[in-house]
């Protein structure tokens, strides 16, 4: 069993090592990339099914019992995230096969992608705070190399900002982890869930919690910490942007969710209120930022931020339904956002530009692409019955349930402005005629060359439709996740053993306001 849980990490790591070893044979790198991605998808789906059937799965790496070694834990949320990673990983690698040139391949593009997947999965599966930090470092370095690979000046400029700000986040995170260890003497998250509520100086715990909020918040791209994202995401090749857009910020969101459901729940009234403000402002600034852009990748990048706001809203409201909304939103968003970047890449290949002004004529030239854009775009805007509708509806409902009308209003305005942005791309790139002087959209044989790029796009669009039309199973998974998140007992006991959570239960009765 332990092998299944760790395989989402081991497969890409093995693949990356082998591909690095055979660095002078780029073709081999491509093959390894595809094979690893397929295996990753199979094993991660198997893991999710296993978790769904048998409950939370735990592995104590190197066989040291928790909290002395490093625990890896797969609950519903982790398993879902791992599956999503595998889906996006596969789509990106397939897209890259037809879009990434030989030079980048030669410099290790595919193994780098695999290390990124390794890091992402590590972050989703680890049950150890310092280990999480290590995965963040892996992610940072892998994304740094992927982003700078190619080295055009704007790319380096974006990379520089990306790296500096993320290093600052890492530093904050490391300090926060150190402080947490100092307070509790442990790094195991299950153990922390038991020990943090028992720390006498609860004000200090809350202060350290805000540090985690900032460090993870930078990674997630929440207001006002998101500057690195719009500064960098539009610079690398579109396949790289797509996987970043789909996965990286969601690692931040995932860790925020983990931290503020498992670890820091002793002052929910304060910390989650902060999160709620952050959520609202993130939505608004993100969507307004998008409204000011006229370049496809920039528009999409800003929308990542506004969508992060919805997920944080779900966490901040901290009710079962709200967390269902957050998890559902992540699921939907990862698929849709990566896909929009892919479509953006095809638009660029067909018209020669990412600038809306210079694009046009695609509705005539490529009806297929038009459909493939409309699906993720209107899903992002929350149109039913596509995947984006359900989480929005859940979050509205969750907000109304606890009478947080302001955040619902903000979510609503953000929704309509998202429609505005998506129709902006649609009207310019698709409906508008080809602008004078611009290259005519590619047709004929060159067009057929690009067909392969449509494969991953269709794959992801299909998933979007399935989630939208056949939402019940996805809802059930999200519900299972939310239930686990709100009741840490199962998590703690499956890591530390029966009865480990009792000290907190004893406390909960008296002073802690841990939700149901």
Partner 1 sequence: MSYAIALSFLVAALAPTIVRFAGRASPWILAILPASIFAWFLSLTGRVREEGSIVQQITWVPGLDANLTFHLDGLSLLFALLVSGIGILIVLYGGGYLKGHPQLGRFYLFLLFFMGSMLGVVLASNVISLFVFWELTSFSSYGLIGFIHEKERSRAAALQALLVTSLGGLVMLVGLILLGSMGGSFELTQLTLQDSLSEHPFYVGALLLILAGAFTKSAQFPFHFWLPGAMEAPTPVSAYLHSATMVKAGVYLMARLNPALGDTTLWLYLVGGIGLVTMVVGAYLALAHTDLKKLLAYSTVMALGQLTMLIGLGTELAIQAMVVFLLVHALYKAALFMAAGSIDHETGTRDVRELGGLAGVMPLTFAASLVAALSMAGLPPLFGFVGKEIVYDATLSLDSGAALFTTFAVLANIAVVAVAGIVALRPFLGARRQTPKAPHEAPFTMWIGPALLGVGSVVFGLLPALVGPTFMVGAASAVLGEPQSFELALWHGFNLPLLLSAITVASGVILYLAWPRLRTGFGNFDRLFGEVPRLGYEWTLDALARVAAWQTRTIQNGSLRWYLFVIVAFFVALTGATLLFRGGIALPDTTGSVHIFEVIVAIICAGGALVVVLARSRVAALASLGITGYALALLFVMFSAPDLALTQLFIETLSVILLTLVVIYLPPLRRSEATPGRTRPVVRDAVVSALAGGLVTLLVWGVIANPLDMTIPEFYGENSYTQAHGRNIVNVILVDFRAIDTMGEILVLALAGIGVFTLMRLRANRARAPRVFAYRLAPEEERGLVPAERTDIAGPLPDDDEWEQDERGPNS
Partner 2 sequence: MNSLILRVVGRLLVPLMLLFSVFLLLRGHNEPGGGFVGGLMAVGAFGLYSLTYGVATARKALFVDPRTLVGLGLLLAVISGFGAAFIDAPYLTGVWFVWDLAPDFTLHVGTPTVFDVGVYLVVIGGVLMALFSVEDD
Which partner from the list partner 2, partner 1, none does 213 bind, CB cut-off 5 to 8 Å by kind? partner 1
| 129-156 exposure pattern, b = at least 16 Cβ within 10 A, e = fewer | bbbbbebbbbbbbbbbbbbbbbeeeebe
Q: According to the binding rule CB under 8 A, does residue 62 interact with partner 2? A: yes
Query: In whole angstroms, how close is the CB of 489 to partner 1 at the nearest point?
Result: 22
Q: According to the binding rule CB under 8 A, does residue 105 interact with partner 1? A: no
Query: In whole angstroms, how close is the CB of 412 to partner 1 at the nearest point?
Result: 5
Question: Residue 307 is encoded by which pair of tokens?
Answer: 């969508």
70 or 322: CB nearest partner 2: 70
Residue 298 near residue 230 (C-beta atoms within 8 A): yes
Q: According to the binding rule CB under 8 A, does residue 445 interact with partner 2? A: no
Q: How many CA within 13 A on the CB side of residue 400?
A: 7
Q: Which of 41, 47, 56, 59 binds partner 2 (CB under 8 A)?
A: 59
Q: According to the binding rule CB under 8 A, does residue 35 interact with partner 2? A: no
3 state DSSP class of 461: helix
Query: In whole angstroms, how close is the CB of 171 to partner 2 at the nearest point?
Result: 21
24 or 510: CB nearest partner 2: 24
- The C-alpha atoms of residue 251 and residue 219 are separated, in whole angstroms, by 7
Q: According to the binding rule CB under 8 A, does residue 13 interact with partner 2? A: yes
Q: According to the binding rule CB under 8 A, does residue 28 interact with partner 2? A: no
Question: CA angle 476-259-229, nearest 5°?
Answer: 90
**Sequence-separated (6 or more) residues with CB below 8 Å from residue 130:** 177, 181, 187
Which partner from the list partner 2, partner 1, none does 479 bind, CB cut-off 5 to 8 Å by kind? partner 1
Q: Which of 41, 56, 90, 138 binds partner 1 (CB under 8 A)?
A: 138
63 or 510: CB nearest partner 2: 63
Binding track over 48-87 against partner 1, x by CB under 8 A: -------------xx-x--xxxx-----------------
Helix 129-148, helix 109-125: angle, nearest 10 = 160
Q: Which of 383, 454, 491, 501 binds partner 1 (CB under 8 A)?
A: 383
First-to-final CA distance of the chain = 31
* 3-state SS, one letter per residue, for 55-80: CCEEEEECCCCCCCCEEEEECHHHHH
Binding track over 385-424 against partner 1, x by CB under 8 A: x---xx--xx-xx--xx------x---x--xxx-xx--x-
3 state DSSP class of 154: helix
Strand partners, 188: 128
Query: In whole angstroms, how close is the CB of 248 to partner 2 at the nearest point?
Result: 22
Q: Which of 44, 60, 282, 366 binds partner 2 (CB under 8 A)?
A: 60
**CA atoms 71, 77, 80, 85: torsion sign:** negative
Residue 301 near residue 233 (C-beta atoms within 8 A): yes
Q: According to the binding rule CB under 8 A, does residue 3 interact with partner 2? A: yes
CA 192 remoteness from chain centre:
24
Question: Residue 481 is encoded by which pair of tokens?
Answer: 């996740």
17 or 202: CB nearest partner 2: 17
39 or 321: CB nearest partner 1: 321
Q: According to the binding rule CB under 8 A, does residue 207 interact with partner 1? A: yes
Question: Residue 197 is encoded by which pair of tokens?
Answer: 């509520």
Q: Which of 118, 264, 342, 491 binds partner 1 (CB under 8 A)?
A: 118
Which residues in this chain contact partner 2 in the complex, by CB under 8 A?
2-3, 6, 10, 13-14, 16-24, 59-63
């Amino acid at each position: 069993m332990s092998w299944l849980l760790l395989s989402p990490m081991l497969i890409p790591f093995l693949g990356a090592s082998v591909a690095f070893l055979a660095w002078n044979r780029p073709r081999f790198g491509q093959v390894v990339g595809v094979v690893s991605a397929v295996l990753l998808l199979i094993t991660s789906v198997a893991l999710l099914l296993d978790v769904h059937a048998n409950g939370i799965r735990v592995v104590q790496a190197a066989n040291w019992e928790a909290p002395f070694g490093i625990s890896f834990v797969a609950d519903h949320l982790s398993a879902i995230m791992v599956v999503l990673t595998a889906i996006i990983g596969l789509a990106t690698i397939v897209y890259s096969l037809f879009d990434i040139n030989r030079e980048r391949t030669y410099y290790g593009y595919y193994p780098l992608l695999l290390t990124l997947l390794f890091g992402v999965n590590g972050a989703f599966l680890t049950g150890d705070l310092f280990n999480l930090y290590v995965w963040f470092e892996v992610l940072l370095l892998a994304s740094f190399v992927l982003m700078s690979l190619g080295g055009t000046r704007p790319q380096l400029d974006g990379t520089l900002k990306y790296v500096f700000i993320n290093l600052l986040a890492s530093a904050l995170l490391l300090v926060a982890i150190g402080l947490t260890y100092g307070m509790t003497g442990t790094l195991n998250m299950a153990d922390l869930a038991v020990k943090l509520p028992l720390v006498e100086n609860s004000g200090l715990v809350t202060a350290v919690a805000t540090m985690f909020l900032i460090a993870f918040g930078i990674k997630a791209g929440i207001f006002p910490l998101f500057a690195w994202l719009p500064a960098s995401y539009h610079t690398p090749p579109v396949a790289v942007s797509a996987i970043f857009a789909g996965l990286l910020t969601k690692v931040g969101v995932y860790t925020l969710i983990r931290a503020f459901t498992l670890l820091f729940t002793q002052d929910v009234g304060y910390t989650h209120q902060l999160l709620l403000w952050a959520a609202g402002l993130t939505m608004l600034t993100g969507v307004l930022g998008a409204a000011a852009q006229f370049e496809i990748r920039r528009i999409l990048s800003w929308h990542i931020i506004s969508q992060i706001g919805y997920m944080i809203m779900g966490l901040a409201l901290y009710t079962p339904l709200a967390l269902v909304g957050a998890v559902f939103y992540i699921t939907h968003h990862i698929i849709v956002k990566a896909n929009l970047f892919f479509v953006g890449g095809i638009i660029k290949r067909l018209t020669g530009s990412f600038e809306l002004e210079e694009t046009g004529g695609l509705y005539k030239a490529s009806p297929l692409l038009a459909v493939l854009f409309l699906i993720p775009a209107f899903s992002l805007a929350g149109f039913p019955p596509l995947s984006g509708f359900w989480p929005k509806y859940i979050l509205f409902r969750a907000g109304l349930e606890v009478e947080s009308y302001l955040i619902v209003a903000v979510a609503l305005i953000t929704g309509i402005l998202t429609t505005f942005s998506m129709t902006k791309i649609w009207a310019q790139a698709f409906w508008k005629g080809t602008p004078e002087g611009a290259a005519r959209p590619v047709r004929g044989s060159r067009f057929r060359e690009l067909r392969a790029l449509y494969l991953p796009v269709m794959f992801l669009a299909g998933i979007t439709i399935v989630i939208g039309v056949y939402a019940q199973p996805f809802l059930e998974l999200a519900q299972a996740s939310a239930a686990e998140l709100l009741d840490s007992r199962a998590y703690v006991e499956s890591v530390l053993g029966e009865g480990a959570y009792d000290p907190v239960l004893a406390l909960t009765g008296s002073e802690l306001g841990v939700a149901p």
